[in-house]
Amino acid sequence: MSDTLEEVLGVINAAPRSAAALTLYALVSTLEHEGAGCLFKLDKLRDLSAAQRRLAYGLMEMMAQRRIGDAIWVAAKAKMDASVRQG
C-alpha cells in the first residue's frame, strides 16, 4: 500500500467520525469521480492539521499521477469504507 493511503487509513481508523477522517474520506471518494471534475470544497482543508493537509495533497498527487482506481487504491478504499461504516 502507498505511504499516503496507509497514513490516511490510519487517520480514518483512529477516529472514523472525526472531522479529519471524514474530510479525508470525502476527498478520497471525490477523487474517484474524475468525470465529474473531482469536486471537493477546498476550504475543508482548513479543518485539517498541517500533517493531515500533507496527506490530502498526497492524495491529489496520486490523482495527478493517474493512480486512482489501481489495485492499491481499491484495496485501501475498501478498508476506509468499512471503517467509516463501522464508525
Quote the pLDDT of residue 40.
Answer: 81
Quote the pLDDT of residue 36.
Answer: 65
Write out the DSSP string of 17-68. Answer: TSHHHHHHHHHHHHHT-GGGT----GGGGGGS-HHHHHHHHHHHHHHHTT-T
Range of the domain at 78: 3-86
> pLDDT tens for residues 35-44?
766 778 889 9
Question: What is the reported pTM?
Answer: 0.91
> pLDDT tens for residues 14-24?
999 999 999 99
Q: How many domains does the chain have?
A: 1
What is the pLDDT averaged over residues 54-70?
A: 94
